[in-house]
Structure 1
Amino acid sequence: MRSHYCGDVNKSHLGQEVTLVGWVNRSRDLGGVVFLDLRDREGLIQVVYDPDLKDVFDVASSLRAEFCVQVKGIVRARPDSQVNTQMKTGEVEILGKELTIINASAPLPLSMDNYQNNSEEQRLKYRYLDLRRPEMAERLIFRAKVTSAVRRFLDSNGFLDIETPILTKATPEGARDYLVPSRTYKGQFFALPQSPQLFKQLLMMSGFDRYYQIVKCFRDEDLRADRQPEFTQIDIETSFMTSEQVMEKTEQMMRGLFQDLLNVDLGEFPRMTFAEAMRRFGSDKPDLRNPLELVDVADLVKDVEFAVFNGPANDQEGRVAALRIPTGASLSRKQIDEYTKFAGIYGAKGLAWMKLNDLDAGMEGIQSPVAKFLTEDIIKQIISRTGGQTGDIILFGADKANVVAEAMGALRLKAGEDFDLLEGQWRPLWVVDFPMFEKINGGLHAVHHPFTAPRGITPAELKADPVGAVSDAYDMVLNGCELGGGSVRIHNAEMQSTVFELLGIEAEEAKEKFGFLLEALRYGTPPHAGLAFGLDRIIMLMTGASSIRDVMAFPKTTTAACPLTNAPGFANPQQLVELGVSVIEKPKTDTE
């Protein structure tokens, strides 16, 4: 039905007859001449119809937005005064000779321009229309280019694309599983995979050496802008490669993607330990475009008569950190109160501050509600340590170390945006040397997952000091967003059993859930390591989208619903009988 895509017609086709199909982006009648912007996935082109061909002209005059049409005409150059440099096809137009309406369109339920104010609910309900918008089409086409480039890179480096099961068994990955009832095993359930973790390890045990898969994963968890119940991973696993080699290979892949598709050189990928990232930036995925850093001042305030400072300063689990914001003394009291409220979202009980109005004026030039609790010498040391200058403000966080990191880390990002401090467009890094475990409610939890190997210690040494153990793990971070995370895996049955034990997984439970893995580890398992990238996040960053929902064809809402299909829905009662499943109805509220 077509000879060319709309967006591919150019000056090399001058004088040729072409046949195009697509949708009416816009139609306008200007003094007896109809100008039609025809759109397909590759772009727009202008088609001109004049009254000489009355029947064709009458059809052109009847068109409305989103009519699906076929156009036949001659390619000609636009007059110099009408050349549109903003369009790929802006130097040419089509003189229309024939026009067929393939399918008319009803009045549209949403606006189709790129600056529309449609609600997310509207956009997802009519996603098939939303995806026609050039902005959305370009993102999905770009996504296809990324996955194609990833496959080419991995294929050329000896990786094998191997599929793993979607119906599997629940594993402790840190989020809830989506469960699938079994009709043939009534009362029993499969789980949709949160990742192919165990299967890709088993593939390494099977001798396939290098595996990859662009795979759907599922997590039934609370959603954010960069979270979805189903998402896509670039999943990679290797045998006989160290963490350094895995990082080198995947960094090479990521450099290639940005260079080939965006003409961007990502530059150096610095290495930073987890401990350093938390100390300097309050985050294990710091945005290095932001020059602000947290500075520890607990040693300076541990003896002051101010419980807000001296309490955390003398607590082994506490922290007192300062954040200097250049020119921040311009903040009004109302703005400081807004910052205080913002820090409270992350658990901070308050926000102490110190304005450096005029350092040449000594203490007279310092404005702060906490200055009365500090000596002049302590204030000078704080200013010196933070690099304070006249016109700056210093904000203080004092609490448990994790609360200070969360609140001050978030405040650092907000201040960087508010004061337009970001430097450079792309700042990648590797974060390494994560702790093996973290304490939550008195118990140990794996920071990555329970199949991550500790760095350089025996099972006995791990058991003796689990909190002090460092994992052989690594995360790739770009502009404050974790693109992917990975680790060297445990390839020793004794070490794996020790980790399960430390996590409170008793031997019987470990056998029930992971017996196949523990058994497999007994038969010559090679050392192996891998990494999984979040494809949706990569595309979001590369296209400048604000949410991963804008780079997925059919995403869910923030409540994990699909307005397009009205999923999830209620099951047929007969199906539930066959599955051996009963449903507990949601209790009705007084307003229902």
Structure 2
Amino acid sequence: MYRTHNCGELTRKDIGREVILSGWIQKIRNFGSLFFLDIRDYFGITQLILYKELVKKAFFLGRECLIQVKGKVIERSSKNLNIPTGEIEISVCHINLLNPSLSPPFTIDNKTDGNEEIRMIYRYLDIRRNPIKNNLIIRHNLTLETRNFLSKNGFLEVETPILINYTPEGARSFIVPSRTHVDKFYALAQSPQLFKQLLMIGGIDKYFQIVKCFRDEDSRSDRQIEFTQIDCEMSFVEVHDVLAFFEHFIKHIFRKIKNIELDSFPCISYSDAIKMYGTDSPDTRFGMSFVELNDLIKKIDINWLKKEELVVGIKVNEYENIHEKIDFFLKKIENKNFFWIKYLHDKTLISSNQNFLSKKILKIFIEYFKALPGDLLFFSYGEKIKTREELGKIRLKIANFFNLKKYEIFNPLWIIDIPLLEWEEKSKKYKSVHHPFTSPKEEDIHLLENNPKGIRSKSYDLIINGIEIGSGSIRIHNKNIQNLIFKHLGLSKKEIKSRFGFFIKAFEYGIPPHGGIAFGLDRLINLLERHTNIKDFIAFPKSNYGKDLMIDAPSFLEKEKLKELHLPY
């Protein structure tokens, strides 16, 4: 028997009991004839006390050695009420070394001295630390809650293939050579998109899957080349059905996992999001929506701004110490088409364009924004798209620099009516904003022939605190519309048949109206726990360069293996 109890369960009620524990040595405190050891396992930490002859044996032990001890539970004289076992300790009568350990390359503790790279190389050691272990427990709880909730609501969990044919879905695919089919390749699935739609054609009413997906993109703190989706699809639904149900789902997850009650999720059109915040994933926790000023500029006749396609501004309300830091912040902004106005507490007005803006004009701006003493105004001007984009970046810089993001608040919203297609100048053809199977809005279908750029789609993104957590759409269930979309994407009839022939064929057998959504599981947990790096919630993540530092993947293949796969070497 390796243990009678784990290292996190013994308390005062166990005093006097003979026990056996097994675990790793967390700390050693040497007092000559007396040794204190902290022994750790998955469940917690227990303090051991070693006397006399056992001390000699302990001299050969080090941190992370795996030991088994027998002893009696006694009351601890110096109690630690921060841990469940802090009122007791084990008076050890026998100690057995199960496995020695090298000195770990970083401190295995809640606050470690190991940087991210070294911790990824020794990820199995990093998992021993409570922060990473607890994150994996949270991930487990979230996936369990997801499975239970969706299953109770009539969703069927179905696994779909990982090795599929290459199809253009927006991102680059990982390609896998076939050994048995010479010169042919699989692709790793970027998502289960086509298969979940085929399940709806197959008569499955509601589907879900917690699924691994693969995209050959640059990794970031919020993106990995392999990631996990909560993937869902429903038959006989429209946009409002999907949004209502999955708002209910997200509210349930926040309540169960974090005991947080969310308000109703507002809907904002894509065009309004760009117009108000300069981005399709706005963080609305700190206000500062854009105010368009072109009409005002014409009215007050500011010549050097009248010629600009767009003039837009934001107001920053007075915050503590904001004026003490503002000069340092302004030096960080590298934007020529930009100016600001300070409205000081003594009602003095200062502008970055004192030579071009009179005091009278500055007062007009202050009145127009209904600014109060202590407020700041920021302005951007130029071409419409670039101006909104630049002011959107400045808005976020302001929020970050002055700590305006309230981390205890979660502001979810739906972005709807996203464009169906966008023109790609480099390839001189359209590409899908979401994917080629997204349905256009009925009132825009007439634009398919002559003005595809103006078509809005039946798609929706869930944004929480400026982070895209989920994305989905109602799917095309009309064969002619689907073929027309493929045509706009520049696919020939031959390409459509070779890549999507099986899918188009399925349209001839009574395809139901259907739609769905996929949530990024890694991002959702990261957001719930208010972290900034999804790697902390993945057991074995890749680096920002897409490399597994622990197993040194990707790696070169031997010539014999390349030959077996019919690849050049």
- Which TM-score bucket, shorter chain as reference? over 0.9
Corresponding residue number in structure 2 for 1:355: 342
User: Are 2:527 and 1:533 aligned?
Assistant: no
- CA distance in structure 1 between the partners assigned to 2:567 and 2:279 by the alignment: 43
Judge conservation of contact 1:280–1:295 (CA < 8 Å) in 2: yes
- Compared CA separation, residues 206 and 299, structure 1 to 2 (3 A): same
Q: Does 1:324 align with 2:324?
A: no
Distance 2:270 2:531 in 1: 28
1:171 is aligned, of 159, 167, 176, to 167
Q: Aligned match of 1:90 in 86, 91, 95?
A: 86
Distance in 2 (alpha carbons) for counterparts of 1:257 and 1:332: 39
Q: How does 1:223-302 map to 2 (within 5 A)?
A: 223-301=219-297
Deviation track 1:444-491 (CA, whole Å, cap 9, x = no partner) reads: 332211111112237444334322222111222222211111111111
| Residue identity matched to 1:416 | A
User: Aligned-pair distance for 1:434?
Assistant: 1.4
Match of 2:436 in 1: 450
Question: Structure 1 residues 395, 10: CA separation in 2 closer, same or farther (over 3 Å shift)?
Answer: same
Q: Which moved more, 1:94-103 or 1:371-380?
A: 371-380
Match of 2:389 among 376, 395, 406: 406
SS of residue paired to 1:279: helix
Tell me, yes or no, if the aligned pair for 2:308 and 2:382 is still in contact at 8 Å.
yes
- Whether contact under 8 Å (1:272, 1:432) holds in the other structure is yes
Q: Secondary structure at the match of 1:272?
A: strand
When the two structures are superposed, what TM-score results if normalisation uses the length of structure 1? 0.89
Q: Are the aligned partners of 2:213 and 2:229 in contact in 1 as well (CA < 8 Å)?
A: yes
CA positional deviation for 1:300: 2.4
Amino acid paired to 2:378? L
Give the C-alpha shift of residue 311 in structure 1. Answer: 4.0
The aligned amino acid for 2:329 is Q
Match of 1:587 in 2: none
- SS of residue paired to 1:283: coil
Q: Percent identity?
A: 39
Whichever residue aligns with residue 9 of structure 2, its letter is D
The amino acid across from 2:26 in the alignment is N
> Does 2:338 match 1:337?
no
The separation in 2 between residues aligned to 1:91 and 1:292, in whole angstroms, is 52
Determine the structure 2 residue equivalent to 1:582. Answer: 568
Q: CA deviation at 1:404?
A: 2.7
SS where residue 312 of structure 1 aligns?
A: coil
Q: Is contact 2:445–2:455 with CA below 8 Å preserved after alignment?
A: no
Q: Following the alignment from structure 1 to structure 2, what is the Cα–Cα distance between the partners of residues 179 and 374?
A: 58
Instruction: Identify which of 415, 420, 429 aligns with 1:431.
Output: 415
Cα distance 1:410–1:90, how it changes in 2: closer, same or farther (>3 A)? farther
TM-fit CA distance, 1:102: 0.7
- Is contact 1:24–1:37 with CA below 8 Å preserved after alignment? yes
Q: 1:404 to 1:357 in 2, by over 3 A?
A: same
Deviation, 1:387, is: 3.2
Instruction: Tell me the equivalent position of 1:57.
Output: 55
Q: Does 1:397 align with 2:380?
A: yes
The one-letter code matched in structure 2 to 1:192 is: L
Is the 2:18–2:71 contact (alpha carbons within 8 Å) kept by the matching residues of 1?
Answer: yes
Give secondary structure in 1 for the equivalent of 2:531: coil
Quote the Cα distance in structure 2 between the aligned partners of 1:99 and 1:538.
Answer: 44
Please identify, of 500-509 and 545-554, the stretch whose mean Cα deviation from structure 2 is larger: 500-509
SS at match of 2:331: helix
**Distance of 1:73 and 1:459 partners within structure 2:** 77
**2:23 matched to which residue of 1?**
22
In the alignment, structure 1 residue 69 sits paired with structure 2 residue 101: no
Aligned length in residues: 561
Shift of 1:231: 0.6
Secondary structure at the counterpart of residue 442 of structure 2 = coil
Partner of 2:474: 488
1:286-342 deviation digits (Å, cap 9, x = unpaired): 2222232222223223585555x33433xxxxx32212223454445443121x13x
Task: State how far apart, in whole Å, the 1-side matches of 2:191 and 2:260 are.
Answer: 30
Indicate the SS of the match to 2:164.
Answer: coil
Alpha-carbon distance in 2 for matches of 1:310, 1:102:
79
**Matched residue, 2:399:** 416
Measure the CA separation in 2 of the matches of 1:534 and 1:132: 26
- CA distance 1:33–1:248, change in 2 (3 Å): farther
Confirm or deny: 8 A CA contact 2:33 2:55 kept in the other structure. Answer: no
User: What secondary structure, in the 3-state scheme, does the structure 1 residue paired with 2:414 have?
Assistant: strand
2:524 paired with 1:501: no
Using the size of structure 2 for normalisation, the TM-score is: 0.92
Matched, 1:463 2:456: no
- Asked whether the 8 Å contact 2:447–2:454 carries over to 1, the reply is no
Deviation at 1:203, TM superposition (A): 0.8
The Cα RMSD (Å) is 2.3
**What 5-or-longer segments of structure 1 have no aligned partner?**
314-318, 342-347, 584-592
CA distance in 2, matches of 1:425, 1:97: 52
Partner residue of 2:7? 6
Report the CA distance shift for 1:23/1:496 in structure 2 as closer, same or farther (over 3 A): same
In 2: Cα distance, 1:407 partner to 1:9 partner: 58
Q: Deviation of residue 501 (structure 1)?
A: 1.8
